[in-house]
Amino acid sequence: MTMAPGLRRFALAVHLTLSIGWIGAVAAYMALDVATATSHDTQLLRSAYLGMDLIARTVLVPLAFASLITGLVMSLGTKWGLFRHYWVLISLVMTIVATAVLLVERRTISHLAGVAADPTTSADELRALGSTLVHSVGGTVVLVVILVLNLYKPQGMTRYGWRKQQEERTQRGGRTAP
C-alpha cells in the first residue's frame, strides 16, 4: 500500500525535518563534547557536561526515535518498501544501531552530568572525566552515511524485492525476466 501523493510529501517533510534535526542536535552536542575534551576551565566543563546531558535527554533521544518511526512509515508507505531494497535495509539497521548506541551512551552522559553537577567535584576530577567525543564523531558519520544512502538510493534489490517486482509485473500482465 502506498500513501497518497500529498500525504507522502507531508510524511517525507516530517521525516527529513526530524532526521536532519537529529544531525543538527548531534552537532550541538559535539560542540560541547569538544569543550570537555579540550578545556581546563572548571565552570565550562561543568556547564558542558550538564548541557550534553540536557541535549541527549531532551533532543537526541526523541529525535532518534522519531526518525526511526517516520523512516519506517516512509518505507512502508512508499514504493521503496521495507525489505525490497538493500539501501532501505542498511539505513534501517544503521538507524537502529545508532539509536541503541545512543541509549547505552546515555547512561555515561548522565553519569558525567551527575559528577559535574556535584559542587564538591574538584577541577582535577572534572578534567579527568573525559569525553564521549569518539561516540559523537562516530554517530555523526553514521547519520551522514544514512543521509547519503537515502539521497542516492543505490541500486540493488533484495531477493524479496525482486520476487515482489516479478509478481507485480505478472499481475499487470507484463513479462517476467527469466
| pTM metric for this prediction | 0.89
pLDDT at 174: 57
Q: Where are the domains of the chain?
A: 5-171
Whether 176 has a pLDDT exceeding 90, the answer reads no
Which secondary structure element, helix H or strand E, spans residue 94, and what is its range? Answer: helix 86-117
Least confident of 12-16, 47-51, 103-107, 158-162: 158-162
Query: For the segment 102-151, what is each residue's pLDDT rounded down to a tens digit?
Result: 999 999 999 999 999 999 999 899 999 999 999 999 999 999 999 999 99
Which of these, 15, 127, 1, 30, lies nearest to 68 by C-alpha position? Answer: 15
Q: Is 151 buried (19+), middle (13-18) or exposed (0-12) by CB count in 10 A?
A: exposed
The amino acid present at 150, given as its one-letter code, is N
Which of these, 147, 146, 139, 151, lies nearest to 28 by C-alpha position? Answer: 139
Query: For the segment 40-91, what is each residue's pLDDT rounded down to a tens digit?
Result: 999 999 999 999 999 999 999 999 999 999 999 999 999 889 999 999 999 9
